């Protein structure tokens, strides 16, 4: 499998990690917004869109998924429990469930996805949504999609530097977690 999208994710993670030199990653700073966060949110959101479409086609070759609602239907049908995935940021004692809203009785778009679209289409009024909290959540969402997309890939490397998932045994020798919604014997 082509890993160019994985390397692009790692590049986005590095770009986000550099912002921490200026604004510490902390819940108190989650509403801090900037041009750099706007750029990252737009890049990450676009990559989520692309990666989700690829994952939908991977699990359903006849998929015509084109919206986040379509992605939710295809992905959660293939991986029940995917919405429970939690991405850790150990260095900052944080954990994020970027897709938790997909597990609601009436699933909806994640807040960070709504922010991405607001910034993309209404930056003049919604620029404050280009904030640290939305960017880190979007980045975690992108990592989660990659973990599912590459679920059969041996040794997905290099590993992210900031985000982690105690990588699953399917991706790392000695991995400690199974991805939610994946049958380990499959």
**Would the pTM count as exceeding 0.75?**
yes
158 occurs within a structural domain: no
Kindly indicate the confidence band of residue 155, based on its pLDDT and cuts at 50, 70 and 90: low
173 occurs within a structural domain: no
Of the two residues 159 and 96, the one the predictor is more confident about is 96
Q: Which range marks the domain in which residue 21 is found?
A: 4-149
Whether the per-residue pLDDT at 165 is higher than 70: the answer is no
* Counted domains in the chain: 1
Q: Which long-range contacts (CB under 8 A, 24 or more apart) does 179-183 make?
A: 179/79, 179/82, 179/85, 179/147, 179/148, 179/151, 180/79, 180/81, 180/82, 180/83, 180/84, 180/85, 181/76, 181/78, 181/79, 181/80, 181/81, 181/82, 182/79, 182/148, 182/151
pLDDT in tens, 22-75: 999 999 999 999 999 999 999 999 999 999 999 999 999 999 999 999 999 999
- Position 181 scores a pLDDT of 76
Kindly indicate the confidence band of residue 105, based on its pLDDT and cuts at 50, 70 and 90: confident
11 occurs within a structural domain: yes
What's the whole-number mean pLDDT along residues 141-160? 84
186 occurs within a structural domain: no
154 occurs within a structural domain: no
Of the two residues 58 and 156, the one the predictor is more confident about is 58
124 occurs within a structural domain: yes
Whether the per-residue pLDDT at 185 is higher than 60: the answer is no
Whether the per-residue pLDDT at 101 is higher than 70: the answer is yes
Kindly indicate the confidence band of residue 168, based on its pLDDT and cuts at 50, 70 and 90: very low
Kindly indicate the confidence band of residue 154, based on its pLDDT and cuts at 50, 70 and 90: low
Find the helix or strand (DSSP H, E) in which 38 lies: helix 35-59
102 occurs within a structural domain: yes
72 occurs within a structural domain: yes
Whether the per-residue pLDDT at 170 is higher than 80: the answer is no
């Amino acid at each position: 499998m082509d890993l160019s999208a994985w390397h692009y994710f790692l590049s986005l993670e590095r770009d986000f990690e550099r912002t921490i030199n200026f604004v510490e990653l902390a819940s108190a700073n989650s509403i801090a917004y900037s041009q750099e966060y706007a750029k990252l949110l737009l890049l990450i959101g676009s990559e989520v869109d692309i990666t989700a479409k690829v994952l939908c086609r991977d699990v359903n070759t006849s998929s015509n998924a084109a919206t986040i609602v379509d992605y939710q239907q295809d992905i959660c049908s293939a991986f029940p429990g995917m919405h429970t995935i939690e991405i850790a940021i150990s260095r900052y004692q944080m954990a994020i469930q970027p897709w938790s809203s997909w597990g609601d009785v009436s699933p909806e778009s994640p807040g960070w996805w709504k922010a991405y679209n607001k910034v993309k289409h209404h930056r003049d009024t919604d620029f404050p949504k280009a904030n640290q909290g939305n960017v880190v959540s979007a980045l975690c969402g992108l990592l989660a999609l990659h973990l599912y997309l590459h679920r059969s890939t041996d040794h997905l490397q290099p590993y992210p530097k900031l985000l982690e998932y105690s990588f699953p045994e399917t991706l790392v020798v000695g991995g400690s977690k199974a991805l939610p919604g994946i049958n380990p014997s499959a």
